[in-house]
Amino acid sequence: MEKENNSLVVKSNKVLESNIQLKNIIPNIALMLKRSSINYSGKIAFQHRIKDKYVGISWKEFYKNLVNISYNLQKYGFKKGDKIVIYSENRFEMLELELSIMSSGGVAVPIFFNYNKETAEQLIKHADANFLVVGGNSQLEKISNKLGLKHIFTFDSFEHIDKEILKKHKNISQFKVLLNNFNDENFTLNFEAQPDDICLNMYTSGTMGNQKCVQLTHKNILSQQAALSMLWNLDENDRFLSFLRWHHSFGGIFEIFNALYNGATLSLESSLGLDPAVILENWKIVKPTIFFSVPIIYQAMIDMILNDKEAEKSFFHPELKFVFTAAAPLPPRISNEFKKRNIPVIEGWGLTETSPCCTITDSKIEREPGVVGFPIPGVKIKVADDGEILVKGPNVMVGYYKNDKANKGIFTEDNWFCTGDVGEITEKGLRIITRKDRIFKLMNAEKIIPTKIEENITKKCHFISYAYVTGSGKKYPVALLFPNRSLLNKKLFGFDMEFEKCKCPKSLKDLSQCLQNCLNEVNCGLKQKFSRLNTAMLVDGDLSVENKTLTPSMKLAPNNVKEVYKANIEKLYNPDYNIKEQVYIIPLNS
């Protein structure tokens, strides 16, 4: 899975970096795609599920489509430097279009397919988009005809678009017109693009509030693939099963370009990660050799397959090289299922601003919670005096688009990028502690790191999906807890050792009663008494992307949770405060 001698690092002046020198960065994405189309001409580049089987397209045909799209866009006024917003769920046409834009001198701007009208139009305006491409009716109905766009394209055919909605837009075409063949032997993709040319504007997930538009270059993206190719043995025989959202850096940069760069087959997961049962069906067909995911999906999959020996055998098939997790550490019980089958679990860390990966763990070193490994080749890391992690390397963005406030102070005077994450360097690699802006002070000025407490809670109780700790300016911290409904009312075969001391609640009421012991144990494990929770609340509700309490990458959005559940928080500090919904308050021994 990994190449030899890849984990050695050197430390000089408190700077952590790989001892492998980065080299052979392809200058631009057009050249990378041309190389892959030649090297892997007859291999399947992409496939998606139609009924009960996967249907694919060869690299030769795939590349031909990219050139056709690039050529035909010109007919609609597209020129180098133009920005095209792509407002769609993951689909083959989206992949073709985005790559064509980036390979033609334009700037692709993907946004989350399920944004409401206000957010979508806000981002389209902020991006200064000249063109818009939508998936279909559900996106187009949210778009005003007063955005001043040159043209709109829709991936879905007009037969699937509401006629009244179509009438609103004069300059609109079906995407399939861009696939028409042309007669111009001299036309090519933009092979002359410079490494530092911006080709992708990607909005951050807005974990701490407002989204920022990250400007990324060809070199940002391709330097990362050059680095990973020196660490991992991936080739045209590898198979990816993709569900991660392509508007987000983990899926849209890290996963996609890993497949494209190495000629691997990218298979689109038909439920888009929404249905573990369907993911498992697709898994059996594709038999992925590498899988990129987030903990919540691994947890759902493992919970399901350990009740089914055949499914378990299909999941842990012999060709599975490794799984990659990001966003948060895997719970020990899930990680252990891979460990006992000798399947490496690799974890990484980075941000959209760093394209995104900065570090990865070494499978030869025992993993520790919070430790995200060593820098990939070409990337340097150091920790500032206040604990903030700083990064320097060819993967670091140009800056935020049209955001002077965010750009101010984002780079140090000697050009280190300030990540906003707090961490420390250990013998096993970089340890992530928390986001800098999540640290708060109590009334007595004592500092609280809420993420540590939140992680302790979700590790202690498998029946909690998310925990949110707050208390800025208060006498003590409190917590809101959100249930893992997939585990309630289930028989937990396969986890006997993990659950032998657990009461295995069957309802929220049961869970609230047994949580008191677990949370008191969490409190006892906190050395600083002022960090201990005074009270917690089990909320009969779910965090979601729709109400912005979760980011599109399924991470907790703390500021939005605080706003949406402000009445619940008030109830924890003021028992007489009335709230409408059913909640379960848990007093603790602080």
- The CATH number assigned to the domain holding 456 equals 3.30.300.30
Residue that the structure tokens 């899975």 belong to: 1
Domain boundary among 407, 433, 459: 433
One domain, residues 271 and 233: yes
> Does the residue 388 lie in any domain?
yes
Whether pTM > 0.85 for this model: the answer is yes
β-sheet bridge partners, residue 431: 371, 424
Q: Residue 589's pLDDT is what?
A: 80
Domain boundary among 193, 227, 254: 193
Sequence length of the chain is 590
Tell how far CA 578 is from the center of its chain: 37
Beta-carbon contacts of 501 under 8 Å, excluding residues fewer than 6 positions away, are none
Query: Among positive and negative, which fits the CA dihedral 459, 461, 466, 469?
Result: negative
Q: Residue 4's pLDDT is what?
A: 44
Beta strands in 59-162 (DSSP E): 83-87, 107-111, 131-134, 151-154
SS3 375: strand
> Does the residue 410 lie in any domain?
no
DSSP string, 172-216: EEEGGGGG-----TT----TT--TTSEEEEEE---TTSS--EEEE
Query: Among positive and negative, which fits the CA dihedral 151, 107, 274, 256?
Result: positive
Q: At what angle do helices 295-305 and 332-339 cross, to 10 degrees?
A: 60
One domain, residues 155 and 291: no
Q: Element (H or E) spanning 566, and its range? A: helix 566-573
One domain, residues 457 and 537: yes
CATH code, 38: 3.40.50.12780
Q: Residue 31's pLDDT is what?
A: 98
Total of domains in the chain: 3
> Does the residue 182 lie in any domain?
yes
One domain, residues 460 and 535: yes
One domain, residues 172 and 261: no
One domain, residues 13 and 155: no
> Does the residue 500 lie in any domain?
yes
Taking alpha carbons only, the member of 436, 379, 391, 385 closest to residue 415 is: 391
Could you give the C-alpha distances from 117 to 86, 144, 359, in angstroms and in order?
A: 14, 9, 36
Beta-carbon contacts of 502 under 8 Å, excluding residues fewer than 6 positions away, are 462, 514
One domain, residues 18 and 124: no
One domain, residues 272 and 361: yes
Question: How is residue 176 written in tokens?
Answer: 């399939």
Taking alpha carbons only, the member of 423, 481, 473, 435 closest to residue 454 is: 481
Instruction: State the residue range of the domain holding 152.
Output: 28-42+57-193
Half-sphere exposure of 529 (CA within 13 A, CB side): 3
One domain, residues 484 and 546: yes
Residue that the structure tokens 């799209």 belong to: 69
One domain, residues 332 and 239: yes
Tell how far CA 273 is from the center of its chain: 12
> Taking a C-beta distance cutoff of 8 angstroms, is the pair 304, 311 a contact?
yes
Parallel, antiparallel, or unpaired for β 429-435 and 417-426?
Answer: antiparallel
> Does the residue 204 lie in any domain?
no
Could you read off the pLDDT tens digit of each residue along the chain, which spans 590 residues? 555 445 455 555 589 999 999 999 999 999 999 999 999 999 999 999 999 999 999 999 999 999 999 999 999 999 999 999 999 999 999 999 999 999 999 999 999 999 999 999 999 999 999 999 999 999 999 999 999 999 999 999 999 999 999 999 999 999 999 999 999 999 999 999 999 999 999 999 765 557 899 999 999 999 999 999 999 999 999 999 999 999 999 999 999 999 999 999 999 999 999 898 999 999 999 999 999 998 888 988 998 898 789 999 999 999 999 999 987 778 788 889 999 999 999 999 999 999 999 999 998 888 887 899 999 999 999 999 999 999 999 999 999 999 999 999 999 999 999 999 999 999 889 999 999 999 999 999 999 999 999 989 988 888 999 999 999 999 999 999 999 887 786 655 444 445 556 778 888 999 999 999 999 999 999 989 999 999 999 999 889 888 889 887 678 899 999 999 999 999 999 999 988 888 899 999 86
> Does the residue 205 lie in any domain?
no
One domain, residues 115 and 234: no
